[in-house]
Amino acid sequence: MTKSELIEALSLKQTHLMQKDVELAVKLVLDQISNALARQQRVEIRGFGSFALHHRPSRVGRNPKTGEPVHIPAKHVPHFKPGKEMRERVNEMGQAAQS
């Protein structure tokens, strides 16, 4: 599901809201999550999951074309950990689809 598909689905469920308002709400939520991660804060949404940063240390990689060693600097990468309710819902849906 893309962001625009999410906005459309929410707009169809919340008919009392204009699509522009739904679009703004989705954009603001995503911006707040991104800003918190940029400040190296953890974001937890109960029942959904949490967003945190994982540190990747520097390492030596290889250029795939030349095989030359390349230094890759250390960095932080966003990581999502689903909450218990989401894991259970996904597992239920997966098991129902297999039946």
* Rounded Cα–Cα distance for residues 18 and 66 (Å): 54
Closest residue by Cα to residue 29 from 51, 53, 55: 51
**Residue ranges matching CATH 4.10.520.10 in the chain:** 42-98
pTM over the 0.85 mark: no
pLDDT at residue 96 in the model: 79
pLDDT means per 10 residues in the chain (99 residues)? 96 94 96 97 95 97 95 96 93 80
pLDDT reported for residue 97: 78
CATH no. for 42-98: 4.10.520.10
